[in-house]
Amino acid sequence: MKTDKVTREDLRAISIGETRSFTLPTFAACLSARAQAATLKPLDGRVFTTTIDQDTLTIHITRYEDDNRTSRH
């Protein structure tokens, strides 16, 4: 989805196990989105992983149920 920024509401709308992609206008906006995802863990207990594609300025955000990402089969 192409957008100017990723909001907390956008992140809260991601279901467990779902990955959403956001194309942003700048790399700084991608870093800001990554920071937003990191701040939701202490606030809401939501756990996300993020990957940024620098060529397309796209951030891929995946939500997990808990912090046991490495134990998935």
| The pLDDT value given to residue 67 | 57
Domain that holds residue 24: 8-66
Q: For 45, how many CA atoms within 13 A lie in the half-sphere containing its CB? A: 2
| pLDDT tens digit sequence for 14-67 | 999 999 999 999 999 999 999 999 998 877 778 999 999 999 999 999 999 865
Query: What is the model's pTM?
Result: 0.84
Can you tell me the distance from the alpha carbon of 21 to that of 64, in angstroms, rounded to the nearest whole number? 15
Residue 58 domain-assigned (yes or no):
yes
Residue 71 domain-assigned (yes or no):
no
Residue 73 domain-assigned (yes or no):
no
The strand pairing partners of 42, in sequence order, are: none
- Where is pLDDT greater, at 72 or 18? 18
Can you tell me the distance from the alpha carbon of 72 to that of 61, in angstroms, rounded to the nearest whole number? 17
| Type and span of the H or E element at 33 | helix 27-44
Residue 72 domain-assigned (yes or no):
no
